[in-house]
Amino acid sequence: MILEKLSDFREHIRFSGISEISRRYFVMNTFDGALTMLGIVMGSYAYGRMEVQMILGAGFGASLAMAISGLSGAYMAERAERSRDLQELEKAMLRDMENSIHARAMKAATVWVALVDGGAPLMAGMIALTPFLLAALDFMTPTCAVYSSIAAIMAMLFLLGIFLGRISGEKLIISGVKTLAIGLATAAIILFIGGV
């Protein structure tokens, strides 16, 4: 039963043509999540406040807020757009389309986009916070957690660049270096401001 529902859901997603939009949301919101975590970690480092519990609290709070914002905002926006499209289709077809595959695809697309939009920054945040969780459990030092988190964030940004390079047909390494450069520039600006 569950597998059948998942199969139907995948079919409705494919029918809706939402994959391009969800890819865009995934990249944008993973990028947002990674840079937000970089801001929290680098800000703590720059101001000499590398307290594991504080970073975990701020990072988790920011990740959760981005996830809720993305989930609810994308759901409401996508639902409004898809409802309008369905109403226009009903007018063109001169009949109620509420039980059609179009309506089911609209609902599936709305849920999928909301999950991607909310899940991407949460995933990025949890990856960035994992070293601090390990530090809270005494598996690494706070300083090691800071450097590990920064490395994880930079790796995420580089991989996002490679993913974008595959989509656009650019050279993968160059595309990865571009997104990595944004992360490095962000870190440098935070360090500069923290040193002023």
| Rounded Cα distance, 5 and 108, in Å | 11
Domain assignment present for 76: yes
39 inside domain: yes
- The number of domains in the chain is 1
Say whether pLDDT at 17 is over 90: no
Cβ 162 vs Cβ 93: under 8 Å:
no
Q: Please tell me the predicted confidence (pLDDT) of residue 194.
A: 80
Residue 4 is assigned to a structural domain of this protein: no
Instruction: Please state, as a whole number, how many other Cβ atoms lie within 10 Å of the Cβ of residue 137.
Output: 9
d(CA 54, CA 174): 36
pTM score of the predicted model: 0.85
> Could you tell me if residue 11 is inside a domain?
no
Q: Is 7 a member of any domain?
A: no
pLDDT score, position 3: 64
Examine residue 166 and state whether it is found in any structural domain, yes or no.
yes
Angle at Cα 55 formed by Cα 50 and Cα 61, nearest 5°? 165
User: Residue 43's domain spans which residues?
Assistant: 21-191
pLDDT in tens, 85-112: 777 766 777 666 677 677 777 888 888 8
For the chain, give me the number of helices (H) and strands (E)? 6, 0
Residue 5 in any domain: the answer is no
**49: confidence class by pLDDT, cuts 50, 70, 90:** confident
pLDDT band at 75 (very low <50, low <70, confident <90, very high): confident
- 56-86 burial, b if ≥16 CB within 10 A, otherwise e? bebbbebbeebbeebbeebbeebbeebeeeb
* 74 assigned to some structural domain: yes
